[in-house]
Structure 1
Amino acid sequence: MTDFAPRVSTRTGQHGRVDHRQEGKVVTTPAFVDAHVHATATGLALTGLDLRGCRSLADLLGRVEAFARSGRGRVVLGTGWDDTGWPERRPPTCQELDRAAYGGAVYLARVDVHSAVVSSALLAAAPEARSAEGFDDGGHVRLEAHHVVRRAAYAGITSDQRRVAQRATRARAAALGIGSLQEMSGPEVAGRVDLEALLYLAATEPGPAVLAYWGELGGFDVVTDLGLAGAGGDLFCDGSFGSHTAALGTPYTDAPTSGHLRYADEHVADHVRQATAAGIQAGFHVIGDAAIDQVVRAVELVATELGLDAVRAAGHRLEHAEMPRPEHISSMARLGMLASVQPAFDAAWGGPEAMYALRLGAGRAATLNPLAAYAAAGVPLA
């Protein structure tokens, strides 16, 4: 506590406290920790084109047109659309975005941020996307094509835009009583320049602390150079249910695919091996059961090579881990692994008629995000 004051306010104090002040009395409580953050993307949504409330395709196109008119030629960056509840049941096409944005560059990320729709102008700036896996002539990009166009879109962000967005995220976090943000950065999320800017902002301006991860296979030089928390975070082993890219052991209910594993088993194991040997926490984005299985098997292998104690000391981490099998949970507990989970996902997409059930069927959907099972087995939750 720093002082007593006869006023009402809430602020983030030192060491992650939140101070609630009223009429000379102070109650100090622990601040929240947000364990999975993309500061720039969140800030752009807070300050720019937030598409979460769109009720239809026409609604989205109208918002894009209005934003483009006031955008002064800048790339239209939007996020949050979800076509599963729209009457059209489809995202906009490249041609529709071209008309809405007057021919400008457009990047609109789906609500899960694992696919996007883009305009012709943005594709012209990233021609390699056309030959990448996940490209679609209609402008709906997934997998590697999505990573390519996202890098092109974010390359157009100015330093001033980035600073405004990152400040907005930290300000919003502080207002919610969040005292620490765990940034999930990487070359395909926002890049090193973006991460360095965020770390500088957190070191020089008041607000929530920032603990950062770098999601790149073998990217240990960045972790060491910048003094980061670990070599993981959004190191994408798969995608998301909504975009049909989360890797499943059996196919989706509503599409003839089982999703996509991005890396070979040996590459995942090598990353875990290098991290364990260096005493660095590794981490992976895994949502489907096949992706969770791949990483758990990799950690099991490294434990046989370097010893269980070394693996447990590293505390390797899974982001999301929504669809574990019972054997995954018991293995994670034995291997000292952590699960960074998002209950808000289940609140948004769970239930017998929502997106999870649409993609997976009600039976599989009901097994997702077993937080109680994780806790009962002794798997720490972030």
Structure 2
Amino acid sequence: MKFSLLTLFGALLFISCDSKEEVDLIIQNANIYTVDAAFSKASSMAVADGKIIAVSESNDLVNKYKSRKLWDLQGKTIVPGLIDAHCHFYGLGLTQQVVDLIGTKSFDEVLERVEAFQREKPSNFILGRGWDQNDWEVKEFPTKEKLDVMFPDTPMALERVDGHAYLVNQKALDLAGITEKTEIDGGELVKLDGKLTGVLVDNPMGLIDAVIPQPDKKTQIQALKDAEKLCVDYGLTTVNDAGLHRETIELIDSLQGSGDLNIRVYAMVSNTPENLDHYLTKGIVKTSKLNVRSVKVYGDGALGSRGAALRAPYSDKHDHFGAMVTPVDKIEELANRIAATAYQMNTHAIGDSANIVVLRAYKNALQGKEDRRWKVEHAQVISETDFDYFESGIIPSVQPTHATSDMYWAEDRLGPERVQGAYAFKKLLDKAGIVALGTDFPVEKVSPFLTFYAAVARQDLEKYPEGGFQMKDALTREETLRGMTIWAAYSNFEEDEKGSLEPGKMADFVVLSDDIMTMPVDGIPNLKAEKVYLGGQQVK
């Protein structure tokens, strides 16, 4: 009888275990921020077929599921896969192939880096990116004379950190056919005593672009792979690339399809006639890794290069207002054309003049249309009377590190009153109900932890300024994490598939080196993404 009872007990135990649903991964003893509607926490999570099957506040999922992978996190923090709502993913990869000028403290250092790079990797057309005269002791645009002496026969184009200005040498000017008599709207050929300095701001840059050799396919693929590695290392699982051409989008799709590129891409189509004619006719392109349903338009230039369009003159440059890159009537025409399709319009707007142009165009084009989720990219300087436009479903897509990069000179550009409407993330959130957060890399660094720190602390890494920059517009930690996950996903029409750790959603998540929600704020920039999962597969 004893033997029979033992046999029966064993059989029941076997049946009980066998009846459990098999999954690919069970996580226990974790500190999981689900970022659901209630911002609830969980301790365990089950993953199967690339999706989240269940989450629980306790470790009871092992009673329902079985897996060969049972992972005890011993209290480690998990957050949803991070989304960069505005960046230049392909551009980041391309910058890995050219002279890195980020962080240069003088024009002489720029020259040193260019010379060293050309010795190591000789090129018939020297390219570089990342200089910022605002970081130099002499905070004026550089001029081309030294470049002409060093490289008289090799054309060169060195892009400013924000992507809105070039410094080129005479050889490049000659190749592009640019002279003192060249005129082009929507920017500036910077001159000194009537002579070209070699600095081109905004639209004139296109004349140089036309003569820069295009990267071959091997270089393009390497650029995308390099960018993916940099992003995944920081826990980014989705990137919103703000401006891609058809051939690059199709290359990304091909690499994703072959398994050579895993990161998810929300592709904003660059505003060119060819791109628009193709995609607006074709309609939305959607796979599990690629989403093409928006158009990226440039309203104006950048504040750092004084290309942002302002209603009143720059406080530090008399009678200078910046410029619209895309004319007002063209923005209105584009808005009406895009509104007639399923596509989203995402427009770069920095200055208060550019922002009101874009906001009015959106309001007029979207009359009677529901849930279009059009975005203002940057929404950097807003007049007090214009914030209310964001109450109508327009989404501000902002980059917190711009505030901490610009804060040293922003008031010089804007004056003490106008700067109060700049980098106003909290006020934008209050009006719009959400903010989508990004970096604008490679204009800023890739790290989303710097984004988080800048949004919450509003300080640089030296804890300047004391008390934070315009703290009335700081975000809470919860708001910031939402802005980097579920709100960014919502802005992409993807909130039902990613952005939070809930059953049925993609198993995109990050294991952090510390608890981003409770750790000392000054330690956040040093956080690490220890493990990164994309679709249930570990990619770091």
Alignment match, 1:268 = 331
- Distance in 1, matches of 2:418 and 2:137, equals 26
Structure 1 residues 190-229: aligned runs within 5 Å: 191-204=245-258, 205-216=260-271, 219-224=275-280, 225=282, 227=285, 229=292
Summarize the Cα distance change of 1:108–1:15 in structure 2 as closer, same or farther, 3 Å threshold. Answer: farther
Alignment match, 1:8 = none
Please report how far the alpha carbon of residue 245 of structure 1 lies from its aligned counterpart in structure 2 after TM superposition: 0.9
- Distance in 1, matches of 2:358 and 2:335, equals 9
Structure 2's unaligned 5+ residue stretches are 1-22, 28-48, 53-68, 191-195, 286-290, 437-540
- Distance in 2, matches of 1:241 and 1:325, equals 15
Q: Confirm whether residue 343 of structure 1 aligns to residue 395 of structure 2.
A: no
- Counterpart secondary structure, 2:421: coil
| Contact 1:230/1:283, CA 8 A, preserved across alignment | no
Alignment match, 1:150 = 209
Q: Confirm whether residue 333 of structure 1 aligns to residue 394 of structure 2.
A: no
Summarize the Cα distance change of 1:230–1:127 in structure 2 as closer, same or farther, 3 Å threshold. Answer: farther
| Contact 2:394/2:432, CA 8 A, preserved across alignment | no
Q: 1:169 aligns with which of 227, 240, 262?
A: 227
Q: Confirm whether residue 252 of structure 1 aligns to residue 314 of structure 2.
A: yes
Please report how far the alpha carbon of residue 65 of structure 1 lies from its aligned counterpart in structure 2 after TM superposition: 0.8
1:178-201 deviation line (CA, Å, top 9, x unaligned): 000111125xxxx43333323333
Summarize the Cα distance change of 1:315–1:151 in structure 2 as closer, same or farther, 3 Å threshold. Answer: farther
Alignment match, 1:39 = 89
**TM-score with structure 2 setting the length:** 0.61
Structure with the higher fraction of residues in strand conformation: 2
**TM-score with structure 1 setting the length:** 0.84
Please report how far the alpha carbon of residue 100 of structure 1 lies from its aligned counterpart in structure 2 after TM superposition: 3.4
Alignment match, 2:121 = 71
Please report how far the alpha carbon of residue 151 of structure 1 lies from its aligned counterpart in structure 2 after TM superposition: 4.3
| Contact 1:216/1:231, CA 8 A, preserved across alignment | no
| Contact 1:232/1:283, CA 8 A, preserved across alignment | yes
Q: Confirm whether residue 85 of structure 1 aligns to residue 135 of structure 2.
A: yes
- Distance in 2, matches of 1:324 and 1:15, equals 40
Please report how far the alpha carbon of residue 344 of structure 1 lies from its aligned counterpart in structure 2 after TM superposition: 0.7
Q: 1:61 aligns with which of 92, 102, 111?
A: 111
Of the two, which has the highest radius of gyration?
2
Q: 1:290 aligns with which of 332, 348, 353?
A: 353
Summarize the Cα distance change of 1:362–1:2 in structure 2 as closer, same or farther, 3 Å threshold. Answer: farther
Q: 1:279 aligns with which of 320, 342, 356?
A: 342
Q: Confirm whether residue 243 of structure 1 aligns to residue 297 of structure 2.
A: no
Please report how far the alpha carbon of residue 68 of structure 1 lies from its aligned counterpart in structure 2 after TM superposition: 1.4
| Contact 2:100/2:113, CA 8 A, preserved across alignment | no
Summarize the Cα distance change of 1:165–1:151 in structure 2 as closer, same or farther, 3 Å threshold. Answer: farther
Summarize the Cα distance change of 1:217–1:180 in structure 2 as closer, same or farther, 3 Å threshold. Answer: same
1:145-201 deviation line (CA, Å, top 9, x unaligned): 112223433x33222222222211111111100000111125xxxx43333323333
- Distance in 2, matches of 1:121 and 1:202, equals 39
Alignment match, 1:52 = 102
1:252-281 deviation line (CA, Å, top 9, x unaligned): 011131111233333222211122222221
- Counterpart secondary structure, 2:83: strand
Structure 1's unaligned 5+ residue stretches are 6-12, 17-21
| Contact 2:252/2:261, CA 8 A, preserved across alignment | no
Q: Confirm whether residue 98 of structure 1 aligns to residue 148 of structure 2.
A: yes
- Distance in 2, matches of 1:109 and 1:282, equals 26
Summarize the Cα distance change of 1:115–1:248 in structure 2 as closer, same or farther, 3 Å threshold. Answer: same
Summarize the Cα distance change of 1:103–1:366 in structure 2 as closer, same or farther, 3 Å threshold. Answer: farther
- Counterpart secondary structure, 1:258: coil
Alignment match, 2:60 = none
Letter in 2 for 1:152: V
Alignment match, 1:372 = 426
Letter in 1 for 2:257: A
1:284-323 deviation line (CA, Å, top 9, x unaligned): 11111111111111122224xxx33x1x322211110111
| Contact 1:253/1:358, CA 8 A, preserved across alignment | yes
- Distance in 1, matches of 2:249 and 2:292, equals 13
- Distance in 1, matches of 2:432 and 2:209, equals 37
Alignment match, 2:72 = 25
Summarize the Cα distance change of 1:287–1:347 in structure 2 as closer, same or farther, 3 Å threshold. Answer: same
Summarize the Cα distance change of 1:51–1:165 in structure 2 as closer, same or farther, 3 Å threshold. Answer: same
Alignment: residue pair count: 355
Letter in 2 for 1:259: G
| Contact 1:214/1:222, CA 8 A, preserved across alignment | no
Please report how far the alpha carbon of residue 232 of structure 1 lies from its aligned counterpart in structure 2 after TM superposition: 2.4
Q: Percent of pairs identical after alignment?
A: 22
- Counterpart secondary structure, 2:340: helix
Letter in 1 for 2:383: R
